[in-house]
Amino acid sequence: MEQEEQKVTSKLQVPETTAKPAEAFGTPADTIFDAKNVSIYYGSFRAVTDVSLSIYPNEITAFIGPSGCGKTTVLRTLNRMNDLIASARVEGDVHYRGASLYAKNVSATAVRRRIGMVFQKPNPFPKSIYENVAYGPRINGIRGKHRLDEIVERSLRQAALWDEVKDRMNKSGLGLSGGQAQRLCIARTLAVEPDVVLMDEPCSALDPIATGRIEDLMQEIKSQYTIVIVTHNMQQATRVSDRTAFFSVLRDEKPGKSDTRTGVLVEYGATQQIFEDPHDSRTQAYVTGRMG
Amino acid sequence: MSITAKAGPAIPAGPAHPLSQRRPLGDRGFQILALSAGLLVLVILVLIAVSMTSQSTTWFTTEGWSGVFSTDWDPAHNIYGAVPFIYGTLITSAIAIIIAFPVSVGIALLLTEVVPRRWSRPIVYVIDLLAVVPSVVWGLWGILILAPWLQSIYQSIASGLTGVPVLSTFFGGQGISGASFFTAGLILAVMITPIVTSLSREVIATVPVIDREGAYALGATRWEMIQGAVWPHSQSGIVGAVLLGLGRAMGETIAVALVIGSSPTITTHLFTTGYSMPSVIANQFGEATVGVFRAALIGMGVLLFVLTIIINLSARAIVGRSVRRAGGE
Amino acid sequence: MMAITTDQQTVDLREPGGWRRTKNQLATVGMWVAFVVMLVPLGFVLVTVVSKGASAISWQFLTNGTLPVNVLPVNYGGMGAAVLGTLEITGFAALMAIPLGVLGGIYINEYGGNHVLARVINFFADVMTGVPSIIMGLFIFTIWVLHFGYSGLAGSFALGCLMLPIVIRSTYEMLKLVPDSLREASYALGATKSRVTVTVTLPAAIGGIVSGSLLAVARAAGETAPLLFTILTVTSTNTNLFSGANTALSAQIFANATQPYTGAQARAWGAALTLIAIAFILMIVARLVTARFARYSE
């Protein structure tokens, strides 16, 4: 089940368990994220088992695989969004730049200011376009209209939305089309200048043209951010990502129990290799279209 | 598309910056504030029970249980029996729900089954208008306009029914007055219609569409569909709605105080004067400076409180159960 | 009855006749009758209040601070004291009950989750909306007036107790409607829970919350029973909310309704019209707020 990948092994010493207060401070590393033997539970149900991988800086990493195999669950573990579900529990280590994300004194709020997220269905706030983008900087203590104007314009330019909305900044963010709304959400995320941007199937609710624009966007901002994207669309993974992680489900021994599909990481490597020369037969079955 | 170069993160994510932070004081404080506001509800309810009961103990101790539940009310002679008022409250509320039940359910069905969506708004506005008229205005109109007009009607009914066996016990008798149990019941019916209607609508809305369609698919007329699909599902919920209306009717003070006639009598003649618990408290509190008198009035308040809480608890439980059951199917 | 189809006969698709059809029509008529039955008293009351009240209303009526003796006809003195009393007492009650009610609704929906305490508070807030208003008056009498005397403030407390559960319920219902995706977006940007609630969730629900609160205020403004035991209806203006007995429109109407003098009765009608006008204005504003925010939010 576990795949040994040369590139995945961390070259760093993995800091010890959660007892030391120094845990929450990071040290420079070659990797942005290091996940080691991560299992995620909802109550007693094990949703994902024994995932180990590393995410590298300024790359786009794609999580692919059939539905229900835990891709989104793993993604949300990277910015502590699973905390919002009362029964969720994470076992194993997740390190961000060498610091443990799940150590006792780590603040989820601080984590999320560095690791942003764009969701599947665009969810702009019922505020003006300007206020949508300014929201993040504001809650981080940035006042000053001039400064905020700067940040808003810069973020909207980065999200390739500025030209379309610059004349209607005070209009509601809800009045945008799907593709524009998603770019607004991306601008909103970029406005706090995170280190990492997580994207959970960001284009699945959009038409192909809007999808294309967002894929172009991802390529453009790659040099400044690290991106992890969950996608159902294999072509998208081949188009944009540098590395791909293929998830699937454990073959369940007990037939008939429909909700006990536990997700597992099958193979992880350079995108080209995953699609052209998959090492695992399940990967091959999926990328050639034989499996769901 | 132009990209502005990233000028450097506003919040440095580098090594020196900790991921740890104590939970901000403001965040914790807000939670405590919200919790306290919620707890206020429980605190107030408990205080109501405690403070009012303690102020009314002299009534129970002086009169004893037999005195408290006697049928005589004579403050001049220190006799404080509550039964005439309990009776009046029950009778007027009964009249109210007997009239309000078909009217409210009828309107609710009108809105859910007959009137197309677009036209339901004006009807709902009218119901809201009905709800917003203050109780004291109903009472004012009741005593100055409605009661005098009804008096002559009652009189003709009563004289017409002399000798008729069952009906004359209710609608006959001497001492016919416009201000009476029946008038109070009428006004109460009007006042509780909005709430019974809106709750019934909520309940009826939970009837699954497939059940309605199933009935229609069998060739049922609308009324038959209502009988067969809507009614079985909403039965208990509507009962709950009516119970809530009952609770409102029992607690209604001012309109009843003005039109019930203010005379503590126990009689089956509905066209004669009577009294109710909240009305006597409202009317006589000003004169109740003597200890036991005031304790008696407050004590009746306690009785009323307990009664309405019980009715409301049952009503909410029934409505909740019916809505949940429908939702879970 | 539908005719049987065969090759030779035609299909009869007419409405089922006879008793079934009649019953259906009767039922529909019955429902409309129910509506009309409700319209009649509403119409009567409104027409009466407007016609009898309009003749009493004048600028003097609304502002003159001295309430005349009952015998005097309507052009002496005015209801100014009562108008001021209603505005002050209801206003202060709203000032207390609305923030507390909104916070309580926030607790139940945002922080309570599945905790027993939250469900208990929710349930009893519901029950509390059904407690008769006279009980609130008696309650404040026993707990405040007996120690501190009659005052407009006591009236505000009583009305506040009345409004609190209504505001809690309507806030809770409105917050429930805010989609979780908005909260998630805010969390993902690094907001704390209180921040999320105050800057995203609450603004998204604000239309419904404001309108629900306005309706609670309209209800409180019209209440009489809670005031009878707390403000001790007087006949002159008392601008001090916090000490001394006070008066309000509803209490004045109640006091005048049982008077045999035409002057007193005319004043009652005038006060009734004023009170209904206040309640209607609040209701209309509530509707407008709902409509405006509905457009903004979806």
pTM of the predicted model as reported, rounded to 2 decimal places: 0.86
- Count of CB pairs separated by less than 8 Å, B with C: 263
Using the structure block, give the residue that is written with the tokens 């005349």. C68
Residue B31 domain-assigned? no
For the domain that residue B134 is a member of, what is the CATH number?
1.10.3720.10
Whether the Cβ atoms of residue B279 and residue B187 lie closer than 8 Å to each other: no
Residue B251 domain-assigned? yes
Whether the Cβ atoms of residue A92 and residue A35 lie closer than 8 Å to each other: yes
- Considering only CB atoms, which chain B residues are within 8 Å of C42? 126, 129-130, 133, 190
Residue B7 domain-assigned? no
Say which range, A144-148, A240-244, B210-214, B271-275, has the weakest mean pLDDT.
B210-214
* Contact C192/A at CB under 8 A: yes
User: CB-side exposure of A27: number of CA atoms within 13 Å?
Assistant: 7
In angstroms, the CA B237 to CA B319 distance is 4
What is the least distance, in Å, from the CA of B65 to any CA of chain C? 22
- Considering only CB atoms, which chain C residues are within 8 Å of A88? none
Interval C224-235: pLDDT, tens: 999 999 988 777
Mean pLDDT of chain A: 85
- Considering only CB atoms, which chain C residues are within 8 Å of B134? 221-224, 250, 275-276, 279
Which of C110, C184, C186, C189 is best to mutate for the A interface (most A CBs within 10 A)?
C189
- Considering only CB atoms, which chain C residues are within 8 Å of B136? 222, 224, 250, 253-254, 257, 272, 275
Straight-line distance from the first to the last Cα atom of chain A, in angstroms, rounded to the nearest whole number? 19
Which of A110, A193, A220 shows the shortest C-beta gap to B21? Answer: A110
Tell me the residue length of chain C: 298
Residue B155 domain-assigned? yes
- The secondary element (H helix, E strand) that includes residue B74 is strand B73-74
Residue B18 domain-assigned? no
Residue type, position C280, single letter: F
Interval B211-257: pLDDT, tens: 888 888 888 888 888 888 888 888 888 999 999 999 999 999 999 99
What is the least distance, in Å, from the CA of C59 to any CA of chain B? 21
- The secondary element (H helix, E strand) that includes residue B48 is helix B25-68
Q: Is the pLDDT of residue C111 over 90?
A: yes
Which of A75, A80, A84 is best to mutate for the C interface (most C CBs within 10 A)?
A84
Domain C61-293, CATH = 1.10.3720.10
- Supply the Cα-derived Rg of chain C in whole angstroms: 26
Tell me if C223 and B134 make a contact (CB, 8 A cut-off): yes
E strands in chain A = 33-42, 45-55, 60-64, 88-96, 99-100, 115-118, 196-200, 226-230, 243-249, 263-270
Residue B279 domain-assigned? yes
What is the least distance, in Å, from the CA of B223 to any CA of chain C? 5
- Exposed / middle / buried, residue C67 (Cβ in 10 Å: 0-12, 13-18, 19+): buried
Which of C113, C192, C200 shows the shortest C-beta gap to A125? Answer: C200
How large is the average pLDDT for residues A65-74? 90
Tell me the residue length of chain A: 292
In angstroms, the CA C155 to CA C243 distance is 11
Question: What is the number of structural domains in chain B?
Answer: 1
How far from the centroid of its chain's Cα atoms is residue C247's Cα? Answer: 20
**How much is the pLDDT for A236?**
93
Q: Quickly state the pLDDT bin for A69 (edges 50, 70, 90).
A: confident
CB atoms within 10 A of CB A251: 9
Q: Is the pLDDT of residue A292 over 80?
A: no
Whether the Cβ atoms of residue B54 and residue C143 lie closer than 8 Å to each other: no
Q: In chain B, which residues touch A (CB < 8 A)? A: 1-4, 6, 9-11, 13-16, 18-23
Tell me if B190 and C41 make a contact (CB, 8 A cut-off): yes
Q: Which domain holds residue B54?
A: 47-327
Sheet holding A243-249, edge to edge: A99-100, A88-96, A33-42, A45-55, A263-270, A243-249, A60-64, A226-230, A196-200, A115-118
- Considering only CB atoms, which chain A residues are within 8 Å of B1? 157, 160, 216, 220
- Considering only CB atoms, which chain C residues are within 8 Å of A109? 190-192
In angstroms, the CA B293 to CA B280 distance is 11
Indicate the SS3 state at residue C15: coil
In angstroms, the CA C215 to CA C163 distance is 10
Chain B residue whose CA is closest to C41: B190
DSSP-assigned beta bridge partners for residue A41:
A46, A89
Q: Is the pLDDT of residue A76 over 80?
A: yes
Chain A: partners with 3+ C-beta pairs within 8 Å: B, C
Tell me if A139 and C189 make a contact (CB, 8 A cut-off): yes
CB atoms within 10 A of CB B186: 21
Tell me if B114 and C39 make a contact (CB, 8 A cut-off): no
Whether the Cβ atoms of residue C153 and residue C242 lie closer than 8 Å to each other: yes
Tell me if A140 and B20 make a contact (CB, 8 A cut-off): no
Residue B35 domain-assigned? no
What is the least distance, in Å, from the CA of C214 to any CA of chain A? 22
Which of B89, B115, B136, B138 is best to mutate for the C interface (most C CBs within 10 A)?
B136
Q: In chain A, which residues touch C (CB < 8 A)? A: 79, 81, 84, 86, 109-114, 116-117, 119, 121, 123-127, 135-136, 139-140, 172, 174, 185, 188-189, 192
From first to last of the 329 residues of chain B, give the pLDDT tens digit. Answer: 333 344 434 443 433 345 655 567 788 899 999 999 999 999 999 999 999 999 998 888 887 888 788 888 888 888 888 899 999 999 999 999 999 999 999 999 999 988 888 888 889 989 999 999 999 999 999 999 999 999 999 888 888 888 888 887 888 877 888 899 999 999 999 999 999 999 999 889 888 888 888 888 888 888 888 888 888 888 888 999 999 999 999 999 999 999 998 888 888 888 989 999 999 999 999 888 878 889 999 999 999 999 999 999 888 888 777 666 655 43
What is the least distance, in Å, from the CA of B184 to any CA of chain C? 14
Residue B36 domain-assigned? no
Indicate the SS3 state at residue B162: coil
